[in-house]
Amino acid sequence: MASKIFLGDMPELMENILNNLNEEFYSLHSCALVNRHWCKMTIPILWRDPFSFEQKPMFISRYFIALNEDDQFILKDCGISVDFPNTLFHYAKFLKVLNLSRLEKKVKHWIGLHLFNPQKHINTLTYHIANLLFKLFIESGTTLSKLDLYIPYDVIEIKPEIFYSLGRNEHFFSRLQDLSVGAISDFCIEDATTLLGILAKNTRKINTLTFNAFESDYEPKLYHTFICIVKSQEQLKRFNLLGGEGLPAEFYGIISALEYQKNSLQEIKIDYCAYSKEFETLANCEKLKVIRILYCHEDNKLLKILNTNHYKISTLEITSYSLDALNIIQILEKSGLLLQRLKLNSEEEEISSQSNLLETLTTFCPNIVYLYISHIELSQQLLKLVENLQKLQYLTLLWINDGTEEVTKGRVMQFAEKLPLTLQYLNLGDIWSNSHINILLNYCNVPLKQLLFSIDCDNDFDYKKTIETLIEFCKRKRTLKDVYVSKMKGAPHMYNYKRNLSDAILNKVQKDLEGYVKLVSYECIVVNC
């Protein structure tokens, strides 16, 4: 006789389930109300990163019960009553993620809700209360896992006593795994540099580092301190360099410092940067498995450096205004069977050397699970590649229609028939016409679960035909769970993946599809590389 399994008797299993709900505020809150046992497991997860939740920051009051007398006096001086009810938990010790900018914004919102001491300027109140909370977290005994050091002009200063407290509580940063630094105003450079110095001294376990180089005129001392952090980590695996519209080309030794991590670095992301000779350091990072290059000036030079090494890439993501596939052929050939996720997004011009690209992918890379490709012809070569990818699960195809309507319809039909049975997610963007979508759905035998497409809402006949075809597909396959419907493009080759429908049309689509498939938002359905 089979025995019954109760989640209450399997705390490890239950904890794993709850951990997978770490961003589902309402679900976690409901779990905490089930019983005392579930509450004890759920509360620490709910309070790991409370400042990221969209709800009103009423939770801040619960921290104050743990303040000492001196800190409570500061609250009184701000006009805040310190007669807070006792709590079952010491919530501050559960904190694992701290974003200084979010902390400041939530505190300011909390003050606005309570209208404490209107005689005091709200920025002064925010300054005192945010620093009190920062100090409480440091002295609570918790250890952070993620820190976002984002200090723009409107973020409060850090009091000197915070640095003193950090010196007495070195454990606070000792297990930090994810650090982001950037958008630091001139007003806060000194604070940020001091904080980075403490991090350089006390952290060795960081595996993900992000540096925002948008402000390229930081003081040399800040760059030097950040470089010390890069060099001192034992196993740095991911590094993100984020630039801006100015496309910075000077990085003051930060990229060169990755030489110290050449035996551990596995993932690199370079976003909105210009080419720098420092990037040559990446040729020595032989463990790289994930490469993301987005909107970089002279990205061909960067790709040439990456071509010189024997990388075995599993994920390659390139977004450019114009993309020449010849620059990545060697990377694709070397990666071969290991390549699983590929995104080639050419935003303004047709991808160059398409024939070489498609032949290489068909010959060397049959194990791709995720494919995103834009500004490419719906050619026989492309159809052959799709048919060859027998492990493909996620496909985004934004193609160029430069043939006759008769030829195009024939190729859309072939495309639908050649889609591998493993495919679960299909994103057609906003460039497919209604007639082509109808053909696709009529000839598609793939058990899709998620579909993203556009619809022409201005033509009532075309709209009804597409909705009817989609409903017939749902009835026939019985696998489609979620769809996102956008408004069809207004100009050739202008991709806009979030061209949202008006509320009125959205309600109409939702009503027409009710009972067949769930209409969801773009954020809930999109799958990124």
Q: Which residue has the higher pLDDT, 317 or 192?
A: 317
**What pLDDT shows up at residue 111?**
86
pLDDT score of 490 more than 60: no
Among 323, 317, 360, smallest CA distance to 342 is for 317
pLDDT score of 168 more than 90: yes
Number of other CB atoms surrounding residue 44 within 10 Å: 16
b/e sequence 267-298, b meaning 16+ C-beta within 10 Å: bbbbbbbbbbebbebbbebeebbbbbbbbbbe
**What pLDDT shows up at residue 359?**
97
* Of 2-11, 88-97, 314-323, 401-410, minimum mean pLDDT range: 2-11
Q: What is the mean pLDDT of the chain?
A: 87
Query: For tokens 């991808």, what's the residue?
Result: 351
DSSP-assigned letter for residue 454: E
**What pLDDT shows up at residue 495?**
47
**What pLDDT shows up at residue 400?**
84
* Of 175-179, 196-200, 216-220, 418-422, minimum mean pLDDT range: 216-220
pLDDT score of 118 more than 50: yes
pLDDT score of 488 more than 60: yes
Beta strands of 2-158 (E only): which ranges?
Answer: 97-99, 146-150
Mean pLDDT comparison of 29-33, 71-75, 217-221, 417-421, highest-scoring range? 417-421
* Interval 438-452: pLDDT, tens: 999 999 999 999 999
Confidence of residue 403 (pLDDT cuts 50, 70, 90): confident
**What pLDDT shows up at residue 422?**
98
* Interval 43-96: pLDDT, tens: 888 889 999 888 888 889 889 888 888 888 887 777 777 667 777 788 899 999
* Of 22-36, 407-421, 477-491, minimum mean pLDDT range: 22-36
pLDDT score of 7 more than 70: no
Beta bridge partners of residue 208, listed in sequence order: 178, 238
444: buried, middle or exposed (CB in 10 Å: 19+, 13-18, 0-12)? buried
- Which residue type is seen at 278? E
* Interval 244-273: pLDDT, tens: 878 888 899 999 999 999 999 999 999 999
pLDDT score of 315 more than 80: yes
Measured distance CA(288)–CA(262) in Å, rounded: 9
Confidence of residue 492 (pLDDT cuts 50, 70, 90): very low
Number of other CB atoms surrounding residue 404 within 10 Å: 9
pTM of the complete model: 0.88
pLDDT score of 179 more than 60: yes
pLDDT score of 105 more than 50: yes
Confidence of residue 493 (pLDDT cuts 50, 70, 90): very low
